Chains A and B, each alone.
Chain A
Amino acid sequence: MGVTRLALQLAAPLRKETSGEALAIERARRDPEAFGELYRAHYHAIAAYFLRRTGDEALAEDLAADTFIAALQGLKRYRDTGAGFRAWLYRIAANTASRWYTRSGAQRVRNLAHAEANAGERDENSHQIALVREAIETLSERDKAVLTLAYFAPMTTAQIALVLRVPEGTVKSRLARARQALGAQIERLTKEEGERP
């Protein structure tokens, strides 16, 4: 499937670190209790990212917890690169999701993706959604990161460039390649499905 069109559905831009947030980060470095303010401000967004990526609410909660605990532990290493604190959290979230996939294995991801489609039928595209989620998790880490940040965070190419610390042009080309790879994986999985008894 040749894909060159990149029409992204973008929500509100990531909140750039306000002076209030910068102060909260400073406070949280000295007092873990102050980290609560940061976590409550960004929890919704991070949990939604995992929900979109996995389709499972309980798992999304667990992965969001892992992300914030890692952020709490690594807060002293945080430096604002211009992308803001939430972008840093998304970077941790993308790594957390990758580790989850490595631990869980393809079969569990497949079961999870399709369980939602079978049980809920919340959306008329449920089966396709499950297929796309499963296909995303089979992509390379690089493709997964750029694709999920673009669609599930969602972030602009400029924001992704700051998060991944690469030029914006590189993000665009990676995104195009990731879409192509995703199309190929969907095709492969669809074919496999057709061959299953």
Chain B
Amino acid sequence: MNDTELESVLNSIARREWNGPGFNPGVERAIAERKQAMGKKNRTFLIALITGASLLTAGVATAVTIHFTSYRATVEIDGLPPMQGEFILNDDNSGATFIADDGTTYVFEGPGTEVTDDQREPSGE
């Protein structure tokens, strides 16, 4: 194949248009799941705030600090089978620590970190 032919083939491929559907059930599902997961997370925070406020009102405490950064999670790391454990986000969300049920600890940080919120579930107060 000479240069002209190669150019022609590349352009021929580039001309192919997408005639399939304009939506994707997988993406729609992911959006719905994420929305649900975020709702769950927000509800947990709301319960925490109400609990904190109640403690303050009742004079049981003068200051309440509640950290909701720990979740049960399934984590998949390249080449390893999925692991269940506790997922603890850093305070600034810049990374996380995952403590697998077998006690192994993984620290996620830096540009490669990708936290998939929709797989997390609040582990309870």
Residues on A lying within 8 angstroms of B by beta carbon are 1, 3, 5, 7, 9, 31-33, 35-36, 39-40, 43-45, 47-48, 51-52, 57, 60-62, 64-65, 68-70, 72-74, 76, 123, 125, 128-129, 131-133, 151-152, 154, 179, 182-183, 186, 190
Contact = CB atoms under 8 A, between A and B. Distances in A.
A60 B35 CA distance: 25
B96 to A, nearest CB: 14
A52 B6 CA distance: 15
B38 interface: yes
A126 B10 CA distance: 12
A151 B10 contact: yes
Interface residues of B, number: 37
Interface in B1-48: 1-3, 5-18, 20-24, 26-28, 30-32, 34-35, 38
Contacts of B27: 39, 43, 64-65, 68-69, 72
Contacts, number: 113
Interface stretch (B67-75, B81-89, B114-122): B114-122
A5 B2 CA distance: 12
Interface of B: 1-3, 5-18, 20-24, 26-28, 30-32, 34-35, 38, 93, 114-118
Contact of B26 (A1, A31, A69): A69
